[in-house]
């Protein structure tokens, strides 16, 4: 079976796949011309959505495409074919995302950046920090990543609530509400963590009205999608003190252009879309599991519902 492997790290992926699935015939490259020339002969595609989108745009399609990203927005653009099986990367980002969230929660509660500024100014910074214990964390997006983050944070004694498509019981959250309750729950939170995918229902939901409902001591972390945030409204909330701070891993424009007001906004930290990188070994393990399911005509993990957008 012939597999088109479209990855910047294609050499590492090929090495792992050769050892685990020697029966696969690999076409491994990140060169757009090579991909375009080889795609029609490959029923299976594995790789980055940004490298594979031009192939779909050219009218090509696989029988099954396994994305190496959790987000598959480039593959859902208008005019692209949808008569194939698409799976996104699931079950491999929980640990690294949880480490990312814990890093910036601790930095916020310990006033890490403020203490660094005090050191630069040679000023003794004596105020005592706050513990994570009792911190109210609202996780917006209770999928596998959101649940993994919550499981990671639970031993620190934080209070956990979530926003999901529908209210339901999901461990370890004490409460899970629907998206229509986001504004109300935002007012409860000491930290609001956005992990939502990019869908029509999740665009521009973090606006002036929502930020106005949040505590002036609250931290906003966006590790979902940049289009969920109204940029000007977030800037206004930070400048007026409606928020204690924000950490943005994703932005509406990436890379963020020079001169964008986010670069020097008060109490805003940018992390350059680095929160949860794909680890090739974990991705190959997921792909091989799905490959076995594909061959046995069993349900694929992370199968995308094109109508829903994830």
Within 10 A of 3 (CB to CB), how many other CB atoms are there? 24
Q: What is the pLDDT of residues 279-290, one digit of tens each?
A: 999 999 999 999
* Whether residue 196 has pLDDT greater than 90: yes
- Contact (Cβ atoms closer than 8 angstroms) between residue 149 and residue 139: yes
pLDDT range class, residue 143, cuts 50, 70, 90: very high
pLDDT range class, residue 309, cuts 50, 70, 90: confident
Q: Per-residue DSSP letters for 3-45?
A: EEEE-TTHHHHHHHHHHH-TTSEEEEE--HHHHHHHGGG-SEE
Nearest to 213 by CA among 185, 245, 176: 185
pLDDT, the chain, mean: 97
Catalytic pick among 225, 252, 260, 308: 225
Catalytic pick among 109, 273, 293, 301: 273
Tell me if residue 273 is catalytic.
Answer: yes
Nearest to 145 by CA among 275, 17, 33: 275
User: Is residue 294 helix, strand or coil?
Assistant: helix
Tell me if residue 252 is catalytic.
Answer: no
Instruction: Report the side by side order of strands in the sheet with 2-6.
Output: 25-29, 2-6, 44-47, 64-67, 85-87
* Whether residue 126 has pLDDT greater than 90: no
Angle CA 98–163–283, to nearest 5: 40
* Whether residue 127 has pLDDT greater than 90: no
User: Is residue 74 helix, strand or coil?
Assistant: helix
């Amino acid at each position: 079976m012939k597999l088109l492997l479209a990855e910047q790290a294609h050499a590492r992926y090929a090495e792992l796949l050769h050892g685990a699935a020697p029966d696969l015939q690999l076409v491994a490259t990140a060169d757009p011309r090579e991909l375009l020339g080889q795609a029609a002969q490959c029923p299976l595609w594995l790789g980055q959505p940004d490298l594979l989108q031009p192939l779909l745009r050219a009218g090509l399609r696989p029988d099954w495409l396994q994305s190496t990203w959790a987000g598959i927005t480039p593959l859902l653009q208008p005019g692209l074919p949808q008569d194939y099986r698409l799976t996104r990367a699931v079950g491999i980002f929980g640990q690294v995302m949880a480490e990312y969230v814990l890093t910036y929660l601790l930095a916020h509660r310990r006033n890490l950046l403020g203490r660094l500024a005090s050191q630069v100014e040679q000023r003794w910074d004596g105020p005592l920090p706050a513990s994570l214990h009792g911190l109210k964390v609202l996780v917006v997006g209770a999928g596998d990543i959101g649940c993994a983050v919550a499981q990671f944070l639970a031993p620190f004694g934080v209070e956990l609530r979530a926003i999901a498509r529908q209210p339901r019981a999901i461990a370890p959250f004490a409460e899970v509400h629907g998206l229509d309750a986001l504004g109300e729950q935002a007012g409860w939170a000491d930290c609001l963590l956005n992990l939502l995918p990019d869908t029509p229902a999740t665009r521009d939901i973090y606006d002036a009205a929502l930020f106005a409902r949040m505590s002036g001591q609250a931290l906003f972390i966006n590790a979902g999608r940049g289009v969920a945030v109204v940029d000007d409204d977030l800037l206004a909330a930070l400048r007026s003190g409606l928020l204690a701070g924000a950490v943005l891993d994703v932005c509406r424009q990436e890379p963020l252009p020079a001169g964008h007001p986010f670069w020097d906004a008060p109490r805003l930290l940018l992390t350059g879309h680095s929160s949860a990188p794909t680890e090739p070994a974990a991705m190959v393990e997921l792909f091989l599991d799905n490959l076995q399911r594909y061959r046995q005509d069993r349900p694929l993990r992370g199968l995308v519902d094109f109508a829903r957008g994830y």
